[in-house]
Amino acid sequence: MPYDPSWPAAFQLLRRRIWPAVQRTALSVEHVGSTAVKGLPAKPIIDLTVVVPFRSDVPDIIDRLSVVGYRHLGDQGIEGREAFDSLHDGPRHHLYLSPQGSLALHNHLIIRTALRRNPALARRYAELKLHLAQRFSHDLDAYTAGKTEFLLEVLSLAGLDTHRPRDIRSANALPSHSER
């Protein structure tokens, strides 16, 4: 859907709900994904990532988030990113947990920053997303796979290590592609 100017406020509402539970250990709660980029069309689901200093902090934060109504779903195949399901009413959202320095967090922050700073790049991404949403309106895996090369281009412009694109392609591959 087109950009909704209420998305930043929805993020802040969710952040205020989460931060008290994690603030002793966490470094930040980041608004990531397309809803974090002004003007970018997106699925109306806020993506948030709790950032912790070390991998060893992850179990403690998983416990703290469970106390405030989140169910841990595991890494869902993305190393360095734990996913959670919300038991709350309120803005639809995906909550993640990543240690500082993880590839998953690094990618989210680089892409968010690049799209915020470069309106032409954000317009290109918006056009691609709209095209893919029309073409794959009932196939989220194909939609996600269709964005991969563009996102790799953004990461490459930011100086991503040469071995990492293979990891990202693998994480975003359609199930039938990864089985070949």
CATH number of the domain to which 23 belongs: 3.30.460.10
What is the total count of domains within the chain? 1
Structural domain contains residue 152: yes
Would you say residue 1 lies in a domain?
no
Does 73 map to a domain? Answer: yes
Domain-located, residue 121: yes
Is 106 part of any domain?
yes
Is 150 inside a domain boundary? yes
Beta bridge partners of 46: 93
Write out the residue range of the structural domain in which residue 32 sits: 7-178
**CB atoms < 10 A from the CB of 43, how many?**
16
Inter-helix orientation angle 103-117/119-135, to 10°: 110
Structure confidence at residue 169 (pLDDT): 53
**pLDDT at 6 (0 to 100):** 97
Whole-angstrom Cα distance, residue 133 to residue 141?
11
Residue 176's pLDDT is what?
Answer: 40
In a domain, 19, yes or no: yes
Residue 2 lies in a domain: no
Q: What pLDDT shows up at residue 177?
A: 36
pLDDT along the chain (180 residues), means of 10: 96 97 98 96 95 98 96 94 89 96 92 95 95 91 89 84 54 41
C-alpha separations of 81 from 55, 74, 108, 119, 151 in Å? 10, 8, 11, 28, 18
Tell me, what's the pLDDT at 140?
86
What pLDDT does residue 158 have? 81
Please state, in angstroms and rounded to a whole number, the distance separating the CA atoms of residues 33 and 170: 19
| Interstrand relation of 82-86 and 70-74 (parallel, antiparallel or unpaired) | antiparallel
